[in-house]
Amino acid sequence: MFVRLPLAAAGLVALANYVLADVDCNTSITIGNATDAEEVRKACKVIRGDVRLTEQLLDTINLDGVEEIYGDLTHYGCDPAAIIRCKNFPKGPLEFSSSTLKKVNGSINFMTYNNLEKLSLPNLSYVWSEFAVQDTTSLKEMDLTNLESVSSFELGTTNLEKLHINGIKELLPESGYTGGIYLNNAGKLDNVDAFFENPINTSEIPTWTPGKGLLLNPPALRNVRTLNLGWTAMDKFEVWGTNLTIVLGGPETKSISYKEVILHGGVLGIQRADNLENLHVGKFRLDTDHDITDLTLPFDTVDSITLFNSSKLRSVNLPSQAENWKNLSLTISGCGSLKLESENGADSKKTWYWPKSSMASVNITSNVSTSFFDSFIANNVEVTQSFSVSDASGKLDCDIFANRTLPSGYTCDKKGSGARILMSTWTIVAAPVALMYILV
Ligand SMILES: *[C@@H]1O[C@H](CO)[C@@H](O)[C@H](O)[C@H]1NC(C)=O
Ligand SMILES: *[C@@H]1O[C@H](CO)[C@@H](O)[C@H](O)[C@H]1NC(C)=O
Ligand SMILES: *[C@@H]1O[C@H](CO)[C@@H](O)[C@H](O)[C@H]1NC(C)=O
Ligand SMILES: *[C@@H]1O[C@H](CO)[C@@H](O)[C@H](O)[C@H]1NC(C)=O
Ligand SMILES: *[C@@H]1O[C@H](CO)[C@@H](O)[C@H](O)[C@H]1NC(C)=O
Ligand SMILES: *[C@@H]1O[C@H](CO)[C@@H](O)[C@H](O)[C@H]1NC(C)=O
Ligand SMILES: *[C@@H]1O[C@H](CO)[C@@H](O)[C@H](O)[C@H]1NC(C)=O
Ligand SMILES: *[C@@H]1O[C@H](CO)[C@@H](O)[C@H](O)[C@H]1NC(C)=O
Ligand SMILES: *[C@@H]1O[C@H](CO)[C@@H](O)[C@H](O)[C@H]1NC(C)=O
Ligand SMILES: *[C@@H]1O[C@H](CO)[C@@H](O)[C@H](O)[C@H]1NC(C)=O
Ligand SMILES: *[C@@H]1O[C@H](CO)[C@@H](O)[C@H](O)[C@H]1NC(C)=O
């Protein structure tokens, strides 16, 4: 994803470039210990070059006084593969801090920063390129209170407990990085909203790669129970969690439009924030989530709904707006606990609304009863592209689909009847057309 300096090369550069007591703030600077750092911070408000920490850094580093770095700020520490070259590993706990640093006009890369427990850059607001903190297993606390503009932010750390940050407001395109937030592992954090709650519209980022979205893989959010997502537009949002509820919307987000939303294992639900006025999702997909039991879809509009292989799913609630959804594609299969018995829930409140205008397709393999289709039949909903219903409960009367405006070759079958019924095109309801029942 990101270009990384080979560790060996970084080490060699470091040796060749040691800082002299007479610090030249107009070139790149290498810091090997706390004394170096002190000389630099006393001499330089602005460093017109890179700041590199040596591979075998053993000290806590403080850069109070430095306000701006024109280039990169980097530390590539000794990884286990470099154990022979790196004779001394830091004892820790180490800190890296600067209360004055405001702007880094390059990238910040802290990779394998051994024994770093605290990273404190509370006044930093702007990082022109990427900001990546990876393989810092000791890291417990980060203070990035004012960080709001980065091209991309990457975090991979297992023990982080505290993060102070008001919120990322923009993903900068200028460096040419495609940008993004990559939470490979958010450690023990129970809240990562600061990265996601502001109204960022990825369609407005010129370097954003079409199709790219936000991917939160299984370990990323293991202690997060609620994720507030306020980005206004993106192509794809895909997430795994642990007892995680997604809330769409943010304090300043009025409208959300995502092309694709995919929920996987460990997600318990998707909700909308009270102040969100408009919510559109192109394709919604629940795919192999074995924790969710009751799914309520909060969308104003959606083009397709796919529910796959989610073993604990018992109920699906659609909002009443569903009656206005146009050209919906609906697919349900592999959800063995789901009973599509009626359009009403347990307390006989209406929980399912069939669209009133025509649908693109219906493809259901489930335990499904005749009354689940009551208003579908009553409104004679037209389905234009494909229609296929397979009932395992034996409670579906396939005859209800005769004389409906369904596509040619639609299928309906139910357990027990031993029959698969293939039906020919039904064109106009009023005109009598012979039906063909083909038994297979
Ligand atoms: C710090 O590193 C510099 C070289 O970068 C070296 O000259 C100096 O002796 C070191 N000081 C300490 C206290 O280790
Ligand atoms: C460093 O660069 C600045 C701006 O280019 C210049 O004003 C200053 O004289 C330079 N200092 C040294 C020591 O070269
Ligand atoms: C942080 O930045 C602000 C705004 O530039 C400045 O006024 C303030 O003095 C800085 N704080 C520190 C500790 O340098
Ligand atoms: C930041 O870096 C970019 C690219 O190197 C450069 O075009 C721009 O002028 C720099 N801005 C500042 C304030 O140094
Ligand atoms: C996102 O930006 C695009 C391009 O400017 C715009 O067409 C779209 O309406 C925006 N979406 C939202 C939800 O603000
Ligand atoms: C997730 O929730 C379930 C049901 O409340 C609970 O049994 C389980 O321990 C939770 N898992 C975690 C990791 O918190
Ligand atoms: C659902 O599970 C079945 C059986 O394990 C598998 O064949 C199928 O590919 C899965 N479907 C999806 C969409 O993952
Ligand atoms: C309806 O949805 C189907 C399937 O996604 C698509 O192929 C078709 O173009 C859509 N029709 C209209 C009129 O949008
Ligand atoms: C129907 O329900 C039974 C038990 O309630 C379940 O085992 C089976 O997987 C369900 N069938 C489908 C197609 O969901
Ligand atoms: C319906 O869904 C099943 C299971 O995912 C799939 O095998 C089948 O091809 C689909 N049928 C249509 C007509 O889309
Ligand atoms: C379908 O329509 C024809 C002609 O109106 C009628 O004879 C037949 O009973 C209808 N079938 C069903 C299942 O409603």
Ligand 11: nearest atom to the Cα of 399: 13
Residue 236 contacts residue 210 (beta carbons within 8 Å): no
What is the C-alpha to C-alpha distance for residues 195 and 211, in angstroms, rounded to an integer?
A: 20
User: Which of 65-79, 201-215, 361-375, 424-438 has the weakest average pLDDT?
Assistant: 424-438
Q: Which ligand is nearest to the CA of 224?
A: 6
What is the C-alpha to C-alpha distance for residues 279 and 301, in angstroms, rounded to an integer?
A: 7
User: Which of 175-184, 329-338, 431-440 has the weakest average pLDDT?
Assistant: 431-440
278 CB under 6 A from ligand 5?
A: no
36 CB under 6 A from ligand 1?
A: yes
Kindly tell me if the per-residue pLDDT of 93 is higher than 80.
yes
Residue 55 contacts residue 32 (beta carbons within 8 Å): no
Contact residues of ligand 2, CB 6 A cut-off: 26, 48
Kindly tell me if the per-residue pLDDT of 128 is higher than 70.
yes
The residue that leads in pLDDT, 180 or 146, is 146
> Going by CA atoms, what residue is nearest to atom 4 of ligand 1?
18
- Per-residue pLDDT reduced to its tens digit, 104-127: 999 999 999 999 999 999 999 999
In 3D space, the residue among 122, 113, 218 whose CA is nearest the CA of residue 160 turns out to be 113
226 CB under 6 A from ligand 3?
A: no
Residue 77 contacts residue 113 (beta carbons within 8 Å): yes
The SS3 assignment for 369 reads coil
Q: Which pLDDT belongs to residue 328?
A: 98
Ligand 6: nearest atom to the Cα of 225: 14
> Going by CA atoms, what residue is nearest to atom 11 of ligand 5?
233
Q: Which pLDDT belongs to residue 85?
A: 81
Kindly tell me if the per-residue pLDDT of 19 is higher than 80.
no
Any idea what DSSP says for residue 291? S
Please tell me the distance between residue 232's alpha carbon and the centre of ligand 5 in angstroms: 8
pLDDT band at 438 (very low <50, low <70, confident <90, very high): very low
Average pLDDT over residues 146-153: 96
User: Which of 13-27, 122-136, 285-299 has the weakest average pLDDT?
Assistant: 13-27
State the CB neighbour count (10 A cutoff) for residue 308. Answer: 15
Average pLDDT over residues 70-94: 86
- Per-residue pLDDT reduced to its tens digit, 331-361: 999 999 999 999 998 888 999 999 999 999 9
Ligand 9 pocket: which of 367, 372, 388 to mutate (most atoms within 8 A of CB):
367
- Per-residue pLDDT reduced to its tens digit, 196-238: 999 999 999 988 888 889 999 988 999 999 999 999 999 999 9
What are φ and ψ of residue 376, in 5° steps?
Answer: -60, -45
Q: Which ligand is nearest to the CA of 59?
A: 1
Q: Which pLDDT belongs to residue 430?
A: 32
Average pLDDT over residues 277-291: 97
Average pLDDT over residues 166-183: 88
What is the C-alpha to C-alpha distance for residues 359 and 304, in angstroms, rounded to an integer?
A: 10
Q: pTM of the predicted model, to two decimals?
A: 0.88
Q: Which ligand is nearest to the CA of 46?
A: 2
Contact residues of ligand 4, CB 6 A cut-off: 70, 105, 128
Q: What is the separation, in whole angstroms, between the first and last Cα of the chain?
A: 53
336 CB under 6 A from ligand 7?
A: no
Please tell me the distance between residue 281's alpha carbon and the centre of ligand 5 in angstroms: 14
Please tell me the distance between residue 206's alpha carbon and the centre of ligand 5 in angstroms: 12
pLDDT band at 138 (very low <50, low <70, confident <90, very high): very high
What is the C-alpha to C-alpha distance for residues 197 and 386, in angstroms, rounded to an integer?
A: 39
What is the C-alpha to C-alpha distance for residues 35 and 54, in angstroms, rounded to an integer?
A: 13
Please tell me the distance between residue 87's alpha carbon and the centre of ligand 10 in angstroms: 60
Q: How far is CA 195 from CA 51, 125, 139, 148, 306, in A?
A: 26, 14, 19, 9, 28
What is the C-alpha to C-alpha distance for residues 132 and 135, in angstroms, rounded to an integer?
A: 10
Kindly tell me if the per-residue pLDDT of 425 is higher than 70.
no
User: Which of 7-11, 99-103, 169-173 has the weakest average pLDDT?
Assistant: 7-11
Q: Which pLDDT belongs to residue 9?
A: 40
Kindly tell me if the per-residue pLDDT of 20 is higher than 50.
no
Name all contacts of 42-47 with Cβ < 8 Å and 24+ positions apart.
46/70, 47/71
pLDDT band at 374 (very low <50, low <70, confident <90, very high): very high
The SS3 assignment for 273 reads coil
Domain boundaries, given as residue ranges, for the chain: 1-189
pLDDT band at 175 (very low <50, low <70, confident <90, very high): confident
Q: Which pLDDT belongs to residue 291?
A: 94
252 CB under 6 A from ligand 5?
A: no
User: Which of 79-93, 163-177, 185-199, 266-280 has the weakest average pLDDT?
Assistant: 79-93
Share of the chain above pLDDT 70, in %: 90
The residue that leads in pLDDT, 273 or 19, is 273
Please name the residue that has the structure tokens 């591979």. Answer: 55
Q: Which pLDDT belongs to residue 419?
A: 54
Kindly tell me if the per-residue pLDDT of 427 is higher than 90.
no
What are φ and ψ of residue 373, in 5° steps?
Answer: -100, 10
310 CB under 6 A from ligand 9?
A: no
